[in-house]
Amino acid sequence: MNLTSSEATTYLESLVPLLDGLSDRQLFVLLPFPSLWVARRFLAATSIDWGAQDVHPDDAGAHTGDVSAPMLADLGCRWVEVGHHERRRDHGETDELIRAKVDAIQRWGMLALVCVGEDRRLPFDEVTAALDRQLALLPTADQSRFAIAYEPAWAIGVGSRPASPSWVRRVHAAIRALLVAGNPEASNVPIIYGGSVGPRTAVAFLAEPGVDGLFVGRQALDPAVFAAIAHTPIRT
C-alpha cells in the first residue's frame, strides 16, 4: 500500500530511464489500483509490464469496493498477484479463493502470479507439506499463464533477513516437483523468490538453479535500488 498516483508518476519518471535497454529479461511493476492508469501512461511504450496486487474472482456484481479482472485487463495489466501473505493474514484468504482468482485472471488473458510460502521458520518437510496444500488446486490451471512467487513470511518486512540461497534452491526444487507431480506441463512455470531481496543478495539468488527471477518488495520503492537489482546478471 504505497505510491499515490502523484507519487507513482514521480517514481516511474525516474525508473523508466534507469531500465532502458534491458531487453533480455522480463520486468514488471505491480502498483495499487488507483495508480494503474499511471503505469499504463508511462510503461505502454516500454518493455516493462504492469499489473495489480489483487483481484476479485467475479467479473462483476454486488461487490462494492472490489476490483474485477476485466477492469484490470482494460487498464492493460499483464500480471495480477494473488495469495500474498498479507492478503491471507489480513483478509483470511483461502487457497480455494486464490484458485478462483487465478481462474478470473486467466479468463481475461492475464498472467497470475501466485504467492506461496510458510508463516514462520519450519523444518523443510513441514514447509514442503504447507506448500503442497497451497499448490494443490493449481495443476488444472493454464500452465502457460501463471508463475509462482516463493515468499516466506518470516523473510519479508522491515527488519527481516532473506532466506539463504541454499534454502531457496531447495524450496524451489520442491515447488517444481510438486507442480510437475500434479501436471507434467508445469515444468516451465516460472518460480521466483521474494523476501528481503536487495542488490547485494540478488546475484546469489539468481545464481541458484531453479530460481527463475526475483520478486522485490520494499527495496523496489527506491527507483535506483530497483534498477540496480534489475541489472543483476542473469545465470546462463
> Is 151 one of the catalytic residues?
yes
Q: Does the annotation count 56 as an active-site position?
A: no
- Of 56, 81, 84, 208, the active-site residue reads 84
Q: What is the pLDDT of residues 57-111, one digit of tens each?
A: 999 999 999 999 999 999 999 999 999 999 999 999 999 999 999 999 999 999 9
Is the pLDDT at 235 greater than 80? The verdict is: no
Q: Give residue 234's pLDDT.
A: 82
Output the pLDDT for position 160. Answer: 83
Section 121-137 average pLDDT:
97
**What is the per-residue pLDDT for 236?**
63
Q: How confident is the model at residue 158 (pLDDT cuts 50, 70, 90)?
A: confident
Mean pLDDT of the chain: 96
pLDDT in tens, 185-197: 999 999 999 998 9
Nearest residue to 75 (alpha-carbon basis) of 30, 113, 15: 30
- Taking the model in full, what pTM does it have? 0.96
Cα 186 from Cα 195, distance rounded (Å) = 23
Position 232: which residue type? T
Residue of 81, 93, 118, 151 marked catalytic? 151
User: Quick one: CATH architecture of 5-230?
Assistant: Alpha-Beta Barrel (3.20)
pLDDT band at 162 (very low <50, low <70, confident <90, very high): confident
- Terminal Cα-to-Cα distance of the chain (whole angstroms): 35
Are 96 and 62 in contact, with CB atoms under 8 Å apart? no
